[in-house]
């Protein structure tokens, strides 16, 4: 069944071109603005383009503010979230439990009370 509603999750059909996340709590952006920094920031072997998730955008921005000569990079993020969408969603859920407040719109599914038997 694919009919669950998650108002605060954005989806991308191709996924983020860096970490491959297909859903994110923030918008996916066209990677054009950031492509020139991808290679160094994520230590890519080849250029990538497409959509980029907000988490990766933040990393690129952080990368740009690194002091000159810094060797810091975020290569470990590349393809970190690759995999079948649904399975990685379960991993995702665990993390989300911490931020339950954001999910108040999602009512827990409870079986109906059996009072009328």
In the complex, the residues that contact Zn ion under the rule CB under 5 A are 16, 18-19, 21, 53, 56
**Which one, 16 or 41, has the nearer CB to Zn ion?**
16
Token pair of 4, please?
A: 């669950």
Is residue 18 within 8 A of residue 60, CB to CB? The reply is no
Q: Between 18 and 41, whose beta carbon lies closer to Zn ion?
A: 18
Q: Measure CA of the first residue to CA of the last residue in the chain; give whole Å.
A: 30
Please state the closest distance from residue 55 (CB atom) to Zn ion, in A.
Answer: 5
Nearer Cβ to Zn ion (50/106): 50
User: Could you tell me the smallest distance in angstroms from the CB atom of residue 85 to Zn ion?
Assistant: 14
β-pairing verdict for 51-52 and 29-30: antiparallel
Q: Shortest distance, CB of residue 39 to Zn ion, whole angstroms?
A: 15
Task: Render 74-112 in DSSP notation, one character per residue.
Answer: -GGGTTTT-S-HHHHHHHHHHHHGGGGGGGTTSPPP-PP
In whole angstroms, the minimum distance from the beta carbon of 20 to Zn ion comes to: 7
Phi, psi of 38, rounded to the nearest 5 degrees: -55, -50
Return the number of the residue (26 or 99) whose C-beta is nearest Zn ion: 26
- With CB atoms as reference, the residue minimizing the distance to Zn ion is 16
């Amino acid at each position: 069944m694919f009919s669950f509603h998650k108002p605060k999750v954005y989806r991308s059909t191709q996924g983020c071109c860096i970490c491959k996340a297909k859903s994110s709590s923030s918008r996916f952006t066209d990677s054009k603005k950031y492509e020139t920094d991808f290679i160094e920031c994520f230590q890519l072997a080849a250029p990538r383009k497409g959509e980029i998730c907000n988490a990766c955008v933040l990393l690129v921005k952080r990368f740009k503010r690194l002091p000159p000569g810094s060797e810091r990079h975020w290569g470990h993020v590349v393809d970190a979230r690759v995999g079948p969408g649904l399975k990685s969603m379960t991993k995702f859920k665990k993390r989300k439990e911490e931020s339950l407040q954001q999910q108040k719109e999602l009512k827990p599914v409870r079986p109906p009370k059996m009072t009328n038997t």
